[in-house]
């Protein structure tokens, strides 16, 4: 097996160690020594966009928030699905991840940061969510291993009751919250319902052409009528 070559290293605001490494052709982002993601398997990151954007992609000027840039696969799938009038905000906690995507990692997903529809928000997605009110048509969250967070201790707050309430508030009526997870999580599903979402659970495979580990996408639909305002296409 090829040796692991460390290409970059930084710390998240809570002090977690973040590394970019390469083994042969494979790029890996490690959080506290554990693989957060690898370029070898990224089908479920793309599925997050395909599932979460099923309504937004029918709009002329959809507004979408992606939480977690990673290697840009969810962002690439989003760009490929959405029209020219789309506005896509990507909230990324770690500035170096953005730099890695502008450089070494850029070619993996076809340099998605060069697309004019993209605006980077280099901060905690929880802050972006709390600042938005009935603004986004879809929110795609993949900031960690799923609702059982591990790369940044503060991430539990993205997936808890307050985090889900903020996501619900940030969405327009009829909008969709899509959450990537490495595994099933019944308690999280219940919390989504408690926050006011109608919940669907999709099982996807980690590799594009099927195969690889099983991952889960939680879809939370915000009802059209929650604010009393009919959902209008814009
Ligand atoms: C698993 S990766 C995302 C993978 C991405 N879906 C893709 O397609 O490549 C998680 C990303 O979320 C970022 N992140 C972690 N916590 C965050 C937070 N609270 N807010 C925003 N980004 C966060 C990490 O730095 C990392 O880039």
The pick from 50, 69, 126 for probing ligand 1's pocket by mutation, whose C-beta has the most ligand atoms within 8 angstroms, reads: 69
Whether the per-residue pLDDT at 39 is higher than 60: the answer is yes
pLDDT digits (tens, 9 = 90+) for 58-107: 999 999 999 999 999 999 999 999 999 999 999 999 999 999 999 999 99
Give the Å distance between the CA of 129 and the centre of ligand 1: 15
The region, left, alpha or beta by phi > 0 then psi within -120 to 50, assigned to residue 187 is alpha
Give the Å distance between the CA of 55 and the centre of ligand 1: 23
Give the Å distance between the CA of 230 and the centre of ligand 1: 33
Neighbouring-strand partners of residue 219: 178, 200
| Lowest mean pLDDT segment, chosen from 56-65, 91-100, 146-155, 176-185 | 146-155
Residues in the chain: 234
pLDDT digits (tens, 9 = 90+) for 2-12: 899 999 999 99
The residues lining ligand 1, judged by C-beta closer than 6 Å to any ligand atom, are 36-37, 45, 67-74, 91-94, 97, 124-126, 142-144, 151-152, 155, 158
> pTM of the prediction?
0.94
Atom of ligand 1 nearest to the CA of 71: 9
State what percent of residues in the chain have pLDDT above 90: 81
- Rounded CA separation 234/230 (Å): 12
pLDDT digits (tens, 9 = 90+) for 189-204: 999 999 999 999 999 9
Interhelix angle 186-194/161-170, rounded to 10 degrees, is 50
Given a contact cutoff of 8 angstroms between Cβ atoms, the answer to whether 154 and 127 are in contact is: no
> 209-213: long-range contacts (C-beta < 8 A, 24 or more apart)?
209/43, 210/43, 212/41, 212/43, 213/41, 213/182
Q: Which residues are CB-neighbours of 101 under 8 A, at least 6 positions away?
A: 69, 71, 72, 112, 113
The pick from 79, 143, 153 for probing ligand 1's pocket by mutation, whose C-beta has the most ligand atoms within 8 angstroms, reads: 143
- Rounded CA separation 62/211 (Å): 32
Write down the pLDDT at residue 229. Answer: 47
- Rounded CA separation 75/128 (Å): 17
Whether the per-residue pLDDT at 181 is higher than 60: the answer is yes
Whether the per-residue pLDDT at 151 is higher than 70: the answer is no
Whole-number average pLDDT of the chain:
92
Confidence of residue 231 (pLDDT cuts 50, 70, 90): very low
Confidence of residue 149 (pLDDT cuts 50, 70, 90): low
Rounded alpha-carbon distances, angstroms, from residue 199 to 30, 64, 189, 194, 213? 31, 19, 7, 10, 23
Give the Å distance between the CA of 115 and the centre of ligand 1: 19
Atom of ligand 1 nearest to the CA of 12: 25
């Amino acid at each position: 097996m090829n040796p692991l070559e460390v290409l970059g290293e930084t710390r998240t605001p809570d002090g977690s160690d973040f590394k970019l490494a390469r083994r042969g052709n494979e790029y890996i982002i490690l959080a506290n020594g554990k693989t957060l993601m690898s370029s070898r398997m990224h089908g479920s990151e793309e599925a997050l966009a395909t599932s979460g954007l099923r309504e937004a992609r029918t709009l002329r000027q959809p507004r979408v928030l992606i939480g977690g840039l990673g290697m840009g696969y969810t962002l690439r799938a989003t760009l490929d699905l959405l029209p020219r009038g789309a506005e896509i905000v990507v909230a990324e906690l770690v500035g170096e991840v953005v730099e890695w995507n502008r450089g070494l990692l850029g070619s993996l997903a076809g340099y998605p940061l060069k697309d004019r529809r993209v605006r980077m928000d280099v901060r905690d997605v929880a802050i972006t969510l709390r600042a938005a009110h009935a603004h986004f048509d879809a929110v795609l969250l993949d900031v960690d291993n799923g609702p059982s967070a591990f790369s940044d201790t503060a991430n539990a707050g993205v997936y808890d009751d307050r985090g889900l309430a903020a996501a619900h508030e940030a969405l327009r009526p009829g909008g969709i919250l899509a959450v990537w997870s490495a595994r099933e999580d019944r308690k999280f599903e219940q919390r989504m319902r408690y926050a006011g979402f109608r919940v669907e659970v999709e099982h996807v495979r980690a590799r594009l052409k099927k195969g690889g580990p099983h991952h889960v996408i939680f879809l939370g639909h915000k009802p059209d009528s929650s604010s009393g305002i009919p959902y209008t296409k814009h």
